[in-house]
Structure 1
Amino acid sequence: MTFHKLVLALAVSAFMWGCFPAPLIFAGAAGGAVYSTTNDTMTDTFVMSKEQAFEVMIGILNKEDAKINVSSIADGKIEAKTATSAIYVRIEPFNAESIKMSINAKKNIELIPDKDTAVRIYRLFIKETIK
């Protein structure tokens, strides 16, 4: 009986040491994937037309010295880059008189979320629309 326990203990021990690095590598990769997909998007609804929202957002991004790479009213999306961040804006109809806007920003390597920039752009949009 003790011989079987000894063999089992040795087998489990050898298996654990042989496969020990693999769980660490997979756990690290999973942690990075979860962090990179963390939801740092500012989303809100506004009572205005899609065109008005688009015009205001383009003005804000121009004031922020952002280079606008994609700008499509039909698709409802704006993609821009500043010196430190990539900014993604989505504008879609919510109902007859409202739109839903999502602002997402990522740091330059476009893997790490940039919540501060998304919040700043969101606040500038609110400030511009209540003038």
Structure 2
Amino acid sequence: MKIIIINGPNLNLLGQREPEVYGSLSFDIFFNGLKRKYTTVELHYFQSNIEGEIIDKLQEVGFSYDGIILNAAAYTHTSIGIGDAVKAITTPVIEVHISNTFARETFRHQSFISPNAKGIIIGFGLKSYELALQSFL
């Protein structure tokens, strides 16, 4: 099984950025732990702060991978383009958020990804990614 995690803007700062919201563990350390735990899954990772690069990556993997775990971060609430890319591909997408977006600012309550996602996992910290991975297994 071939799964990719795609992270959006500012998630490269996990472990440093707002630890009270996002925790103190870097994503690289977390991702390496996932790879060690799920040895039968071919796990890949991509992060970009640039909307177009996220769209390009979705189009690149969206017809050949078994699953995509997508945390588009702030682009979730602003990017019709990323929502359209998720709709255009055949690989199922699980939308993930580390924090409970519904407990935050009102603008974070809307997602342009959700209508085209297979499912949504919100608010379980980094464990949200593992829950998404388990949903594909």
Report the TM range for the smaller structure's normalisation.
under 0.3
Please, what TM-score do these two structures have when normalized by structure 2?
Answer: 0.25
TM-score (norm 1): 0.26
Between the two structures, name the one with larger relative contact order (CA 8 Å, sep ≥ 6). 2
Q: Which has more strand, going by share of residues? A: 1
